[in-house]
Amino acid sequence: MNDIPPLISEINSKFISELTSFIRVRGLSYSTEKTYIHWIKRFIHYSGYQSRQDITSTDISRFLEHLVISKNVSPNTQKTALNALVFLCRELLKQNTEKLTFKRAKKGPKIPEVFSHQEAVKIIELVPSPFKLAVQLMYGSGLRINETLRLRITDIDLHTSSITIRNGKGNRDRKTLLPRSLHAPLRQQFKAVNILHDQDLSNGFGDVYMPYALAKKYPTQAKGYGWQYLFPASRLSIDPRSEKTMRHHLTDRAVQKQVMKAIKNANILKRAGCHTFRHSFATRLLENGTDLRNIQELLGHADIKTTQIYTHVAGLHHSGVISPLDK
The residue ranges of every structural domain in the chain are 14-92, 109-326
Compute the distance between CA of residue 169 and CA of residue 210 in angstroms, rounded to an integer: 18
Of residues 248, 278, 279, 284, which has the active-site annotation? 278
* Res 149: pLDDT: 96
Phi and psi, residue 229, nearest 5°: -70, 145
**What pLDDT, in 10s, does the model give residues 115-142?**
999 999 999 999 999 999 999 999 999 9
With beta carbons less than 8 A apart as the criterion, state whether 270 and 128 touch. no
For the domain made up of 14-92, the CATH class stated in words is mainly alpha
The reply to whether 279 belongs to the active site is: no
CATH 3.60.21.10 is held by the domain 109-326: no
Burial class for 92, CB neighbours closer than 10 Å (0-12, 13-18, 19+): middle
Report pLDDT for 226: 93
What is the Cα–Cα distance from 298 to 227, expressed in whole angstroms? 23
List of the chain residues with pLDDT < 50: none
* 261 in catalytic set: no
pLDDT value of position 308: 86
Active site residue 301: yes
Closest by CA to 281, choosing from 111, 120, 109, 110, is 120
In this predicted structure, what is the pLDDT of residue 216? 75
pLDDT of residue 108: 65
Catalytic residue among 36, 139, 144, 150: 144
Query: What does the alpha-carbon distance between residue 310 and residue 157 come to, in Å, rounded to a whole number?
Result: 28
